Amino acid sequence: MGDNLQETKDLSGRLIVTTKDNPQSQKFPALISLANDQFRCQRCQMVNCQSTYSITSQLFYCPECLVLGRLTNQDYLIAYPEQNDFVVPPHPLTWTGTLTPKQHAISCQLCQVQMNKQEHLVWAVTGSGKTEMLFAMLAQAIRQGERIALTAPRVDVCNELYPRIKAAFRTTGVSLLHGQGANHYYYSQILICTVHQLLKFRAAFDLLILDECDSYPYVNNPLLHQAVQQAVKKRHTLIYLSATPSPEYQQQIAQGQLNYSLLNRRFHGHDLPEPQFRLIWRQRFNCLNKQLLHSITTLYQKQQRFLLFVDSIKQAEFISQLLHQELPNLQQTFVHAKDPLRGQKVQAFRDNQWQALVTTTILERGVTFFNIDVMVWQADSHRFNAQTLIQIAGRAGRSAEHSDNQVIFFAKQYTLAIDQAIRQIRRLNQDE
C-alpha cells in the first residue's frame, strides 16, 4: 500500500509516455499530424517534417526531444495534475549564515516577487552569493506549500547546487534529476534539475528558478524555453539568475519588459579581479609559448594554483603534454566535456591534488575553487565571447582572503570581446 501511494505521488505533475492500450481516458497522442507533411510533438511543442523523420511509411518520431527517449506517432502522453502533497515544516530554513545589506535588500525584493507571482531577473556578479539570496524566498514558498524547481542548463551547476540546498533546507524534501547518473527520481517539494528534464513535467511548479539563464544550451534554444513555460503553473513565479545577462535580457530590461535586481559586489565586498591583457608576439610550432611558460613557471615557483582556459579539446591535451615536458614536477592535468574522468579531475583539483588544470570552457561557470589564478590562452579565439571571458574571470578572487587573484588574457590581437569583457568588469567595480 505504501509503495503504491509513493508511486502515485511520484506521478504528480509529471508528463508520462504511455501506449494506446492504456485505459486511462486522459491520455493524448504524443505527435499530431499537421498540414504539408508536418507534425507537432506534444511533449516539446516543436514542429518537424514527417518524411524527414520517418522510420517506416507509417511511423515517424520527434528529433527535438530524442535525448529523453524516442517519441513516435504511436505513443501517447498522460499529464498528471500536480497535487502539492507535502508535509510543510514550520521553520524550513536551517541555514544560519547572514547576508550583506545589498544581498538582504534583493532577498526582500524576491520575497515580494514570489508573493505577487511575477517574473524577475537577478543580475549578480560571479561570487556575489546569489544562491544565499534565494533562501528567504524559498523558505516562504515552502511554508505556502508550493512546489519549487531550481534548474540550470548544465549538469555541473545542478550537482553544485544540490548539496547546498539540502544543507540549507534539511527538513524539506530535495531531489536531483539529470541525464548523467543523478539520484533516482522521487516526488519532493524542491527539485534540482537540468532544463531538459523539465520536458518531463507539465504545469507542476509554482516557483521556478533558472540559474545561468544566459548559458549554453538554454540561450537561443526554443525547445528549452518551451520546457520552462510548460513546467510552470498558469500562476507562477519565474526567477532568472545571471552574472552576464544576454543582449536579449538586457534589451527586455531597457524596454521595461522585465524587472531586475543588480548586485555588482561579491559577498566579501572587494572588487572583481580586472583582467590583464598580454599580447602574444611570438609563437613557435609544437612548442609552448615563452610568455605563457614564463607566467606558468612563476606560478609554479610560488605554488599558486591556477586554471588555464583554452579554446578546444585538442588544445587542452596538447598544452598539458607540453607542460609535462617543460615542467615535469608541476602537478597538472587537462579536462574537457567529453573526458570520462571529468568529475574526478574537477574534484581532485578542488581537493588541492593538482596545482593546475588545463580546461576548455566547461569550467567557465557554475564551479567554485578557493584561491586560484586564471589565464586564458588565445583569448581572441571566436569561442571566447565577452560573456564567456567575464565568466572565466569570475573564477578568480572568490574569497575575501584572496580577492586579488590575477586574471590574464593572452592573445595575438585585442578583440572587441576582450575589450567588452574588461570594460564591463571595470564598470561593475565602479558602480555603487
> Domain holding 306: CATH number?
3.40.50.300
Residues near 422 by Cβ (< 8 Å), separated by ≥ 6?
274, 275, 277, 409
Boundary (domain end) residue, out of 242, 263, 284 = 263
Inter-CA distances, 10 with 99, 198, 205, Å: 35, 15, 14
- Rounded CA-CA distance 138/135 in Å is 5
Catalogue the long-range contacts made by 296-302 (C-beta closer than 8 Å, 24 or more residues apart): 296/323, 296/327, 296/330, 296/356, 296/375, 297/327, 299/356, 299/373, 300/327, 300/329, 300/330, 300/355, 300/356
Instruction: Clarify whether residues 17 and 162 are in a common domain.
Output: no
Determine, yes or no, domain membership for 244. yes
State how beta strands 54-56 and 59-60 pair.
antiparallel
Q: What is the DSSP letter of 363?
A: G
Burial class from Cβ neighbours inside 10 Å (0-12, 13-18, 19+) for residue 166 reads middle
Q: Is the pTM of this model over 0.85?
A: no
Instruction: Clarify whether residues 119 and 256 are in a common domain.
Output: yes
Cis amide linkage into residue 217, ω under 30° from 0: yes
- Rounded CA-CA distance 86/83 in Å is 9
Determine, yes or no, domain membership for 268. no
- Give pLDDT, residue 418: 95
Determine, yes or no, domain membership for 19. yes
Instruction: Clarify whether residues 127 and 199 are in a common domain.
Output: yes
Output the CA angle 394-228-8, nearest 5 degrees. Answer: 120
* One pLDDT digit (tens) per residue for the chain, 432 residues: 455 556 678 899 999 999 999 988 899 999 999 999 999 999 999 999 999 999 998 899 999 999 889 999 999 999 999 999 999 988 999 999 989 888 999 999 999 999 999 999 998 887 778 899 999 999 999 999 999 999 999 888 898 899 999 999 999 999 999 987 666 788 999 999 999 999 999 999 999 999 988 887 888 889 999 999 999 999 999 999 988 887 788 888 888 888 889 888 776 667 788 899 999 887 677 788 899 999 999 999 999 999 999 999 999 999 999 999 999 999 999 999 888 888 889 889 999 999 999 999 988 877 788 899 999 999 999 999 988 999 899 888 887 787 889 999 999 999 999 999 999 888 888 765
Determine, yes or no, domain membership for 206. yes
Instruction: Clarify whether residues 239 and 328 are in a common domain.
Output: no
Instruction: Clarify whether residues 315 and 190 are in a common domain.
Output: no
- Give pLDDT, residue 6: 66
Total number of domains in the chain: 3
Instruction: Clarify whether residues 143 and 256 are in a common domain.
Output: yes
373 forms beta bridges with 306
Phi then psi for 189, rounded to 5 degrees?
-70, -30
- Give pLDDT, residue 432: 55
- Give pLDDT, residue 35: 94
Instruction: Clarify whether residues 174 and 252 are in a common domain.
Output: yes
Boundary (domain end) residue, out of 201, 232, 263 = 263
Determine, yes or no, domain membership for 194. yes
Instruction: Clarify whether residues 254 and 306 are in a common domain.
Output: no
Domain that holds residue 21: 2-79
Determine, yes or no, domain membership for 371. yes
Determine, yes or no, domain membership for 93. no
Instruction: Clarify whether residues 256 and 287 are in a common domain.
Output: no
Q: Residue 241's closest CA among 314, 117, 152?
A: 152
Instruction: Clarify whether residues 109 and 51 are in a common domain.
Output: no
Helices (H), 333-399: 342-350, 386-393
Instruction: Clarify whether residues 112 and 224 are in a common domain.
Output: yes
The total of other beta-carbon atoms located within 10 Å of residue 60's CB is 22
Boundary (domain end) residue, out of 46, 79, 112 = 79
Inter-CA distances, 149 with 180, 204, 207, 290, Å: 18, 9, 6, 48
Instruction: Clarify whether residues 146 and 235 are in a common domain.
Output: yes
Determine, yes or no, domain membership for 88. no
